[in-house]
A and B are shown apart, each in its own frame.
Chain A
Amino acid sequence: MALRLNIRKTLRSGAQEFELSTVFEAEGRSIVLFGPSGSGKTLTLRAVAGLMAPDAGRIELDGQCLFDAAQGINVPARERGVGLMFQDYALFPHLTVAQNVGFGLGRGLFGRLDREARRRVGELLDLAGMTGMADASPERLSGGQRQRVALLRALAKSPRALLLDEPFSALDPLLRARMRREVRSMCQALGTPTLLITHDPEDVAEFGGTVVLYDAGRVRRLEAFSDGPDGGCTGGPGARALVLGEHFSAYG
């Protein structure tokens, strides 16, 4: 994945104003945006996904222009071909686990699943060891299971990149460590590059790759760590030390 990004966005709520103004270029199987809450990471992710249009600038993914304010280009989210995993998973409560996973594979206005799509859903559920829960409602699942469903749903259409919005912050610490490894190995197995945003140094250590440090709406620093031998990216202790050593204005 090669991401070239140069965007500006101003948000106002009452007297408060937040300005996001970021420029960076990053390449690799794994890109991590790290920074304190409110530093503009999520906004950047939403801009890449096509859920928010910046005021100005340009976004390029793997050489394709997704957004260019000057040229009036704004590829709609549904055509960007990126998977998105939300912080709260955003599973459809009115659909079953299998229907959630197959949502992006459905055809027509009502999203009917053909036999090929159903086979793919079964395969993915099998991969995550969730075959027994295919017909369950997502509301009956545990936190880790919900995350698996959200991950499978995002990966079902074989996106060219998976965007993860603070994926592990809602889990308790023990489960967090497990899901972190699980998500990364699943993405590696399917060969999907990831763009992860987080404020947890452990996520940086696990996902590593290219680490972009955010602070108060700006990119503070960009550091590329070597790709691991298995084709994945491991920042390891070096990446953890990097983010722990930084001083962010939000923390005084």
Chain B
Amino acid sequence: MPYFLSGFGPDFWPELLFPALVPLGLTLKVALTATAGACLLGVGAGFALSRRGLPGRELLDAVCTLPLVLPPTVIGYYLLVLFGRRGVLGQWLQEHFGVTLIFTWQGAALAACVVAFPLVCKAARTAFEGVDQNLEHAARSLGAGEAGVFLRVSLPLAWRGVLSGTMLALARAMGEFGATLMIAGNLPGRTQTLSLAIYDAAQAGRDDEAMFLVLLTSLVCILLLLASGKFLKLNPCT
């Protein structure tokens, strides 16, 4: 039995908890950034996909869903090819902004954003399709432009679905492993998130540390789920 379960020994705080705070903070930073990105992109894409007149709609939908079904390593490899030092986007970012995504927490956030994006996109599309078209027509006939229709009618009526997709995206981003490993590596203190730290500890035979991190991750996820459940229930609109 791991020794910390037999009671909080004097070594508990300095040896287990304090080192764990670094990957925990990094995980939260990466996951929240990724979720914010996935939310913005997913709402935009989901709204576009919910429009009946969009040409090639189902093909675009398939492309948007791809990160959900592809192995994370495939996504990680795509990102490496695109954003690596010799990748098209990677070189462009380096030249114009001096930004490198490889082996940085921003790279980890990008990876998590890509894998979490379909969850928001799918939920948003369904939610926007559920909005009565007559309500959007009514807004147009009352003089609202397309941006006004979106902000004043479609989004307020669809936001519950969007929010539940965003919560799933956050959960997915927290647990992201494969794509993150490929693009950001596993650098303790810089890109080592909780899931990577657990893998690292387990590989190196540091069982106490692995067990502690696993329990910590579970606890954080349970808290997140409780908070999101409460948040969703509080919402009186449709």
Chain A positions within 8 Å of B, measured between CB atoms, are: 49-51, 76-80, 82-84, 86, 88, 90, 92-94, 103-104, 106, 109-111, 153-154, 157
Q: Is B207 an interface residue (CB 8 A)?
A: no
Main secondary structure on B side of the interface with A: helix
Complex partner residue of A84 from B141, B152, B156, CB under 8 angstroms = B141
Chain B, interface residues (CB within 8 Å), range:
20 to 34
Collect the chain B residues with CB atoms within 8 Å of residue A103's CB: 139, 142, 144, 152
Q: A90-B135, A93-B238, A94-B157 are in contact. Are A51 and B141 (CB under 8 A)?
A: yes
Q: Is B211 an interface residue (CB 8 A)?
A: no
B238 touches A50 (CB 8 A): no
Complex partner residue of A51 from B137, B142, B143, B152, CB under 8 angstroms = B137
Q: Which residue of A lies closest to B237 (CB)?
A: A94
Q: Is B57 an interface residue (CB 8 A)?
A: no
* New A-B pairs, 13, CB < 8 Å, besides A78-B145, A79-B143: A49-B137, A49-B141, A77-B140, A78-B142, A78-B143, A84-B141, A90-B135, A92-B135, A93-B237, A94-B238, A109-B151, A111-B144, A157-B142
Q: Which residue of B lies closest to A88 (CB)?
A: B134
In the complex, chain B residues 196-238 whose Cβ is within 8 Å of any chain A Cβ: 237-238
CA distance A80 to B140 in the complex (A): 10
Q: Can you identify 27 A-B contacts, CB atoms within 8 angstroms?
A: A49-B137, A50-B140, A51-B141, A77-B141, A78-B142, A78-B145, A82-B141, A84-B137, A86-B134, A90-B132, A90-B135, A90-B138, A94-B237, A94-B238, A103-B139, A103-B142, A103-B152, A104-B143, A109-B147, A109-B148, A109-B151, A111-B144, A111-B148, A111-B152, A153-B138, A154-B141, A157-B142
Q: Is B153 an interface residue (CB 8 A)?
A: yes
Collect the chain A residues with CB atoms within 8 Å of residue B137's CB: 49, 51, 77, 84, 86, 90
Chain B positions within 8 Å of A, measured between CB atoms, are: 132, 134-135, 137-145, 147-148, 151-153, 156-157, 237-238
CA distance A94 to B24 in the complex (A): 39
Q: Which residue of A lies closest to B151 (CB)?
A: A109
CA distance A82 to B132 in the complex (A): 21
CA distance A134 to B237 in the complex (A): 18
Q: Which residue of B lies closest to A139 (CB)?
A: B238
Collect the chain A residues with CB atoms within 8 Å of residue B144's CB: 78, 103-104, 111
Collect the chain A residues with CB atoms within 8 Å of residue B135's CB: 90, 92
Collect the chain B residues with CB atoms within 8 Å of residue A93's CB: 157, 237-238
A76 touches B140 (CB 8 A): yes
Collect the chain A residues with CB atoms within 8 Å of residue B151's CB: 109-110
Q: A78-B143, A157-B143 are in contact. Are A86 and B138 (CB under 8 A)?
A: yes
CA distance A84 to B137 in the complex (A): 9
Collect the chain B residues with CB atoms within 8 Å of residue A111's CB: 144, 148, 152
Q: Which of A82, A83, A92 has the most CB atoms of chain B within a 10 A radius of its CB?
A: A92
Q: Which residue of A lies closest to B149 (CB)?
A: A78
Q: Which of B132, B134, B138 has the most CB atoms of chain A within a 10 A radius of its CB?
A: B138
Give the top 6 A-B pairs by smallest Cβ distance, nearest first: A104-B142, A90-B134, A84-B141, A77-B140, A90-B138, A78-B143
Collect the chain B residues with CB atoms within 8 Å of residue A104's CB: 142-144
Q: How far is the CB of A58 from chain B (nearest CB, A)?
A: 20
